[in-house]
């Protein structure tokens, strides 16, 4: 950490990017520009989220299928258990398999009614572990699941939360991607707890470059992520200064990644919010450079 800024990076970091399905034509254009900006960096995969209650089922499918068809990046589809029977979810998964999608991010999801607890749908998958087991029976998908460095709000404690993670991995997931967090120490503590629990699967930190501090505060409160005081101070007075805010955001996210890298982390998952520049800049600082398609194939 005392080395000059990013002088210790060796170009050995690997990244993945998360997008959400676009709602409008304009948003679709922004998404595709972002995919085109980020794909030369040779991500391990890009994933597309699934809206609450399956509300984005068609849009998620269309976006993932297009990435699978029109780019050489492995595409991953998020899938949740919310408000659907097992048969309906299996049908969505079969459609993905038929479209050439081989990677699913398997999630429980949340209640579509804000402030109410998730209820297992009648005839549905009761949680992410059950979904993973169901997907395993269908096809040899690569499966990623969610992990919570600051404990999921529905978990009684950190031990129960780790037990739940273990169930998902034992059911057939090969990697966990974490909820976003704001301090590297939060991830390191979690990594130690995961190892102590006997879990040796890959735990990839989810990095959320902050576009809008107020909305990150709201999201953090909902998912139990602590927002440190110093972060509020750094965004003070920047509400009407988007360019300055962007520089501050990039600095904070880059510093988080620098600390993670110094602590041995080599895989990073970026919540891009469909905007490429911040994630691109951070990858650049991490020593990742655009690769030709041939080099990308070699790296894969």
List residues binding ligand FAD (CB under 6 A).
49-50, 52, 78, 80, 105, 107-110, 127-128, 146, 152, 154-155, 160-161, 164, 168, 177, 179, 206
Q: Which is nearer to ligand FAD, 128 or 201 (CB)?
A: 128
Question: Is 139:93 a contact under the CB 8 Å cutoff?
Answer: yes
Q: State the nearest-atom distance from the C-beta of 292 to ligand FAD, in Å.
A: 30
- Nearer to ligand FAD by Cβ, of 196 and 294: the residue is 196
Report the distance separating Cα 204 and Cα 265, nearest Å. Answer: 8
Pick 124 or 206: Cβ nearer ligand FAD = 206
- Indicate the residue among 35 and 105 with the shorter CB distance to ligand FAD: 105
Is the separation of the CB atoms in 280 and 17 below 8 Å? Answer: no
- Residue 223 vs residues 82, 134, 148: alpha-carbon distances, Å: 17, 26, 9
CA atoms of 16 and 194, how far apart (whole Å): 21
Quick check: is 87 catalytic?
A: no
3-state secondary structure of 30: helix
Contact between residue 259 and residue 286 where contact means Cβ atoms under 8 Å apart: no
Give the C-alpha separation, 105 to 75, whole Å: 10
If you write DSSP's letter for every residue of 201-266 in order, what string do you get? SEEEPEE---S-HHHHHHHHHHHT----HHHHHHHTT-TT-HHHHHHHHHHHHHHHHHHHHHTT--
Q: Using alpha carbons only, how large is the chain's radius of gyration in Å?
A: 19
Minimum separation from the CB atom of position 110 to ligand FAD (A) = 5
Helices (H) and strands (E) in the chain, counts: 11, 9
Give the nearer residue to ligand FAD in terms of CB position, either 121 or 235.
Answer: 121
Please, what is the minimum distance in Å from the beta carbon of residue 240 to ligand FAD?
31
The answer to whether 125 touches 131, Cβ cutoff 8 Å, is yes
Measured from the CB atom, the residue of 223 and 262 that comes closer to ligand FAD is 223
Distance of CA 1 to the CA centre of its chain: 26
The active-site residue, picked from 18, 28, 142, 150, is: 18
Q: SS3 breakdown of the chain: % helix, strand, coil, rounded to 5? A: 45, 15, 40
Catalytic residues: 18
């Amino acid at each position: 950490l005392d080395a000059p800024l990013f002088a210790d990076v060796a170009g050995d970091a690997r990244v993945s990017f998360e997008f959400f399905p676009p709602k409008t034509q304009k948003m679709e254009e922004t998404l595709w520009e972002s995919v085109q900006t980020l794909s030369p960096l040779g991500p391990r995969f890009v994933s597309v989220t699934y809206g609450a209650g399956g509300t984005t089922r068609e849009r998620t499918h269309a976006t993932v299928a297009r990435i699978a068809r029109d780019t050489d990046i492995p595409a991953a589809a998020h899938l949740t258990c919310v408000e659907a029977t097992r048969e309906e979810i299996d049908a969505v998964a079969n459609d993905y398999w038929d479209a050439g999608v081989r990677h699913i991010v398997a999630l429980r999801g949340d209640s579509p009614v804000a402030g109410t607890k998730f209820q297992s749908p009648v005839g549905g998958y009761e949680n992410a572990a059950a979904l993973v087991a169901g997907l395993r029976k269908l096809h040899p998908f690569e499966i990623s699941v969610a992990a919570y460095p600051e404990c999921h709000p529905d978990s009684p404690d950190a031990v129960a939360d780790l037990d739940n993670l273990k169930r998902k991995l034992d059911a057939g997931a090969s990697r966990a991607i974490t909820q976003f967090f704001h301090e590297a120490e939060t991830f390191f503590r979690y990594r130690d707890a995961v190892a102590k629990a006997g879990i040796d699967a890959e735990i990839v930190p989810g990095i959320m470059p902050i576009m809008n501090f107020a909305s990150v505060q709201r999201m953090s409160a909902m998912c139990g992520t602590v927002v440190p005081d110093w972060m509020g101070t750094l965004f003070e007075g920047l509400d009407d200064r988007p360019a300055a805010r962007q520089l501050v955001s990039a600095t904070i996210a880059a510093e988080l990644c620098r600390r993670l890298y110094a602590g041995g982390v080599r895989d990073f998952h970026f919540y891009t919010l469909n905007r490429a520049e911040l994630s691109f800049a951070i990858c650049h600082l991490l020593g990742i450079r655009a690769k030709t398609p041939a080099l990308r194939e070699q790296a894969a």
